[in-house]
Amino acid sequence: MLSWDDTPSVSAMRCSRAWVEINLDAIQHNVCQFRRLLRPTTDLMAVVKADAYGHGAVAVARAAVSAGATWLGVATVPEGIELRQAGLNVPILVMGALHHADEVRALARWQLQPTIVTPKQALVFAEALSDACLPLPVHIKLDTGMSRLGFDWQRAVEFVEFVAGLPALQITNLYSHFATADEADETEMRRQHERFKRAIAMLQRHNRLPARLHLANTAATLSDAAALQYDMVRIGLGLYGLAPSPHLKAVLNLKPALEVKARITHLKPIAAGAGVSYGHRFVAEHPMTIAVVGIGYADGIPRLLSNQMHVLIGDECVRQIGAITMDQLMLDVSDIHGLKEGDIVTLLGASPSHQLTADAWANWVGTISWEILCGFKHRLPRIIPRNNARKLYPAEDSLL
């Protein structure tokens, strides 16, 4: 019997069934691709909110900054603090709306830059920072058609003048966000851009225009970088190697940075007529060999992919069968010989002949690739493979 000291480490056991591999070289490549579209003076914000879309915020941020990203974008104060504690010193924008004094003081303590969207919110900031020695740099966000965060663009002068009158705050940036930049029809995107330009003109006439402007997300940058980049672009999905829509895929040579892998835990023959998994949504028409794989919907594999998805075993494309369960899924491996328990299966990733993408999964289940990437649970460890981005993580396989 093994003693406690003889058992494998928890970290090693976490990687025994399924994991996510993060290619930091791909992150760096994608940053360089976007920099090709930009003027040398244009900043590139790497959006690493939601744990870098499930890729690991600290590792991705380090890789992006090393490749030329000059800003980082997060949604919450704790996300920004995590980056500061990891030693990242570039400017960080918190894009969510904050309303609590403790959050405001934490922003100032960790030198994070907030988004201001209402006068009421600005007053909370001013009161929380009333004894601060220096004003806090803030970004004013205008709503030009997203109908989410942001102050009415038509009242931009009124709003900017109000915030500028608060001694605790220093307006350094003005921005907005597109609602439809990933669509082939650019009508609404152009309408929003025109509203942004009109707000700029009004602010200029009143000598209230902030020094810096930013507007373009990944899709807008790919659509028209020259017209939309202003002083900075905010790159989200493109940082991770995916285009926001099919018509934008050819603009840059982007490389997906995430692969999902798992191991075969059981191999078994089944007879003709045998049902597979819950509900017997797959019934064998002939004798088969199936492989049980240690990954399921509790790890972030959408159950709606049942009987639709394929995986890779080596360079072989293999179909998934039966309902995907909480911790496991089944494959038809009847035509593959020499398999054994422990062999690796690639659910997202590439082989010499095939590529399995988050875009394909999103199309099958009727969602978007953003949701697929953000859906992989933290029961799946994030691994940086050996020899990948060695300058950032020189050791062997690193567990994030």
| AA letter at 385 | P
Candidates 17, 70, 22; CA nearest to 373 is 22
List, as residue ranges, the binding site for substrate.
148, 326
Determine which helix (DSSP H) or strand (DSSP E) holds 25, and give its type and residue range.
Answer: helix 24-35
Contact 135, 170 (CB under 8 A): yes
Q: How far apart are the first and last CA of the chain?
A: 31
Residue 12 lies in a domain: no
In the set 197, 278, 377, 391, the catalytic residue is: 278
Stated pTM of the model: 0.92
For the segment 175-221, what is each residue's pLDDT rounded down to a tens digit?
Answer: 999 999 999 999 999 999 999 999 999 999 999 999 999 999 999 99
Sign of torsion over alpha carbons 173, 177, 182, 183: negative
Residue 7 lies in a domain: no
For the segment 45-67, what is each residue's pLDDT rounded down to a tens digit?
Answer: 999 999 999 999 999 999 999 99
Determine which helix (DSSP H) or strand (DSSP E) holds 170, and give its type and residue range.
Answer: strand 169-175
Determine which helix (DSSP H) or strand (DSSP E) holds 196, and give its type and residue range.
Answer: helix 187-205
Q: Does residue 278 have an active-site annotation?
A: yes
Q: Which domain holds residue 321?
A: 258-399
Q: Can you give the CATH number for the domain in which 278 is found? A: 2.40.37.10
Query: What's the CA gap between 171 and 203, in Å, rounded?
Result: 13
Residue 17 lies in a domain: no
List, as residue ranges, the binding site.
148, 326
Q: Can you give the CATH number for the domain in which 182 is found? A: 3.20.20.10
In the set 49, 141, 261, 393, the catalytic residue is: 49
Choose one of 207, 241, 275: the last residue of a domain. 241
Residues 127 and 61 in one domain: yes
| pLDDT range class, residue 15, cuts 50, 70, 90 | low
Beta bridge partners of 152: 143
Residues 321 and 223 in one domain: no
Q: Does residue 53 have an active-site annotation?
A: no
In 186-257, which ranges are E strands? Answer: 212-214, 232-235
